[in-house]
Structure 1
Amino acid sequence: MIETLMSILFVYVFILLGYMAKRIFQDDMNTKTLTLMSVYFLQPFVTVWGFSTAKLHSEHLYVPLLYLAIIFALLVPTVLLGKMLFADPKERAIFSIAGFVGNTGNIGIPLGIALFGEASVIYTTLINIANVFVVYIIGVYIYSRGSFSIRDSLYNIVKIPIIPASVVAIVINLYDVPLSSQLQEFFKMGAYTGIVLQLFLLGTFLQGIRIKELHPKLFIGTISQKFIIVPLATAIILSFTNLPLFVQGVIFMEMMVPLAVANINLASLYNCRPKDVTSLILLSTLLFMPLLFVLSYVTNHYYL
């Protein structure tokens, strides 16, 4: 538990460093450059390293597939609802996808250890990998649609290197392609750099946000979706499965984690109101802290 708390503390330290750097250097600190470095150069390292940490087995694959199925089942009505609620295409894009891009890695994995023990790591790792595909395929397309045409949005998916990197990593994992210790260390260094840059980038965006400028409808809609609609729908869907309660609890927990920093990458990259997205990430993270007690109660009484 102490190690988990320390890990979360380190997360906030790097966010604070990004905030201070942007506050001190102002316009000299180019967030666009940091975003490009993260998305196009360092995130592929995070993915390849993530696949190298756990061997994939057939009995494990059902969990990330179910996670993706739940997201797809909820995404379609959310997109349709977004078209009715928001006239602005950028607000519509944020509402449609932000709530589904959760922080399944930096928060989900250590929180899984705290609530369920180390037996949860294999499942949280696979769910985090599945979330990569949600972020960099569906997320890229929807955020792009806030500013780009359908054709250009599809092209933006092709340009993202993390998808082919993930395919290569899956092949290496499934076929047991040997990697030297030096190569594994190389990927680990790149992954840790990418994780730190992600957190640092969040801090730079936090420096300039004005929460009072966030559209109330966008805030209420996205937060309600994240912490009410998605968890309730997930619990109902999971109740119809034959999965052990322990595994159901892990999936339920991952669906409740706050919005991921990856939302900022895509919103910034495609000019889809990154300041608003940053405000939503900050607010969802703050709201998640008291909700942790509710989540702990639910998991202890229903899934353990």
Structure 2
Amino acid sequence: MSVATIYLFIIIGFVFKRTFRDDVNERTIVLLNLYFLQPILIFWGLTRAPLSFELLISPIIYFIAIFIVLGIAYLYSLRAFKNEIQDKSIFMASSLVGNTGNLGIPLGIALFGLESVPFTSALNIANIFYIYIFSVYFFAGEKFNFTNSLKEIFKIPAIWFTFFALLFNYFDFHMSADFEKVFTMGAYTAIVMQLVIFGIFMSQVKIRSANWNLALNISLFKHFVLPVVGLFVILFFDLPAFVGAIIFMELFVPLAVNNVNIASLYKCKPIDTTFSVLISSFIFIFLMYVYIVSIEMFFGL
């Protein structure tokens, strides 16, 4: 999926909500995508290529960088969002979650060629784990205690489909051609639906009353703190330049649209979350040249 196609589907969602307004129930669309289409997408993605040791290295390094910054973000949030519990939840849930699927995979092809697809897919898997475990916990945390928040995590079908897909892949099972078509159609539908959902919520953003403090703090960590810390982690492990560059790329992509799904599901300011994704996307466009120069400088690619 090209970047132009991604923006096309976002615009379709935007126009759709603007045109029909009260006739569009975005929560119904979110539930359909989250509980039915997203599990299909995850299963389909995790069964595209056989598991290998090489594919396991990059997600481990990715997680190390993520969790180091997660600790920094938590300490930062204690002061930045002292009296705003929901803003703190959104900040912790979304500031480290990048668009590693819809944007990361095609961007990897553009920068590094088709050889990058297995690695970008593996990193997208790692991102999915983070979203459906840690992001769900933070978004649900304000409404539930720790035990109930963990229960909420395991109500998300994506968790179970992830483990099922890994077992399916590990034992080298194969789907028939007909089932392969069904899962492929479902996966692409999930991607399109996710972009349309983002457009629907984007149409409700009001720039003048938008939560700029939240959006800018999230972008600070997503586009500056995380890439810098991630770069040091990658260089510390002395990875092959090709693998290191791909991990770095997946760390600097803008916020994931999937954040809007979870925020909407737990009614945790989905409009403010959408605005944060929007600001992150604009900042990414302006910093893209700096990121590419950094890849050339540190990885020689």
**TM range, smaller chain:** over 0.9
Cα deviation digits, residues 52-95 of structure 1 (max 9, x gap) = 21211122211111111211121122123212221211100111
Residue of structure 2 equivalent to 1:12:
7
Secondary structure at the residue paired with 1:104? coil
Instruction: Give the Cα separation in 1 of the matches to 2:36 and 2:29.
Output: 10
1:276 alignment counterpart: 272
Q: Which residue does the alignment assign to 1:99?
A: 95
Q: Which among 244, 249, 265 is matched to residue 245 of structure 2?
A: 249
Secondary structure of residue in 1 paired with 2:95: helix
Q: Deviations over 1:122-175 (max 9, x none)?
A: 110000011100000101000111333323321210100001101010011111
Alpha-carbon distance between aligned partners in 2 of 1:258 and 1:123, rounded to the nearest angstrom: 18
CA-based RMSD of the aligned residues comes to 1.3
Q: Using the alignment, how far apart are the partners of 2:221 and 2:67 within structure 1? A: 14
TM-score by length of 2: 0.96
Match of 2:208, SS state, is helix
Match of 1:32 in 2: 27
Instruction: Return the letter of the residue paired with 2:189.
Output: T
Q: Report the 3-state secondary structure (helix = DSSP H, G, I; strand = E; otherwise coil) of the residue aligned with 2:128.
A: helix
Q: Is 1:162 matched with 2:165?
A: no
CA contact (8 A) 2:64 2:233 kept: no
Contact 2:69 2:225 in 1 (8 A): no
Query: In structure 2, what is the Cα distance between the partners aligned to 1:277 and 1:207?
Result: 13
Counterpart position of 2:43: 48
Describe the SS at the equivalent of 1:213. Answer: coil
Deviation at 1:208, TM superposition (A): 0.7
Whether the 8 Å CA contact 2:13–2:200 is kept in 1: the answer is: yes
For the 8 Å contact 1:268–1:274, the answer to whether it is kept is yes
Given that 1:92 and 1:146 are in contact with CA atoms closer than 8 Å, whether structure 2 keeps it comes out as no
Equivalent in the alignment of 1:209: 205
Contact 1:104 1:131 in 2 (8 A): yes
Letter in 1 for 2:140: S
How far apart in 2 are the matches of 1:100 and 1:284? 11
Q: Distance in 2 between matches of 1:58 and 1:227?
A: 29
CA contact (8 A) 2:215 2:280 kept: no
Kindly indicate whether the alpha-carbon contact (under 8 Å) linking 2:136 and 2:262 is maintained by their aligned counterparts in 1.
yes
| Counterpart among 106, 113, 119 of residue 115 in structure 2 | 119
Instruction: Confirm or deny: 8 A CA contact 1:202 1:261 kept in the other structure.
Output: yes
1:108 equivalenced with 2:104 (yes/no): yes
Following the alignment from structure 2 to structure 1, what is the Cα–Cα distance between the partners of residues 16 and 216? 31
**What pairs with 1:175-214 in structure 2 (closer than 5 Å)?**
175-214=171-210
| Cα distance change on mapping 1:27 and 1:148 into 2, 3 Å | farther
How far apart, CA to CA, are the structure 2 residues paired with 1:189 and 1:74?
Answer: 36
1:74 and 2:78 are equivalent in the alignment = no
Letter in 2 for 1:247: V
One-letter code of the match for 2:217?
Answer: G
**TM-score, normalization: structure 1?**
0.95
Distance 2:4 2:290 in 1: 21
Question: Hey, what does 1:220 align to over in structure 2?
Answer: 216
Q: Secondary structure at the match of 2:49?
A: coil
- Output the CA distance in 1 between the equivalents of 2:91 and 2:216: 10
Q: CA deviation at 1:297?
A: 1.4
Question: 3-state SS of the aligned residue for 1:83?
Answer: helix
Residues 2-59 of structure 1: CA distance to partner in whole angstroms, max 9, x if unpaired?
Answer: xx7xx11111111111111101111110011011011111100010110121211122
Q: Which runs of 5+ in 2 are unaligned?
A: none
1-structure distance, mates of 2:257, 2:208: 20
Which residue of 2 is the match for residue 172 of structure 1? 168
Provide the C-alpha distance between the structure 1 equivalents of 2:298 and 2:65, rounded to a whole number of angstroms: 20
Judging changes above 3 Å, is the alpha-carbon distance between structure 1 residues 63 and 8 closer, same or farther for their aligned structure 2 residues? Answer: same
Once residues 234 and 293 of structure 2 are traced to their aligned partners in structure 1, the CA distance between those partners, rounded to angstroms, is 18
The one-letter amino acid paired with 1:94 is I
CA contact (8 A) 1:90 1:147 kept: no
In percent, how many aligned pairs have the same letter?
40
Number of equivalences: 299
Alpha-carbon distance in structure 1 between the residues aligned to 2:4 and 2:72: 37
CA distance in 1, matches of 2:129, 2:142: 20
Instruction: State the partner residue of 1:57.
Output: 52
8 Å contact kept, 2:14–2:199: yes
Is this contact kept in 1: 2:93–2:136, CA < 8 A?
Answer: no
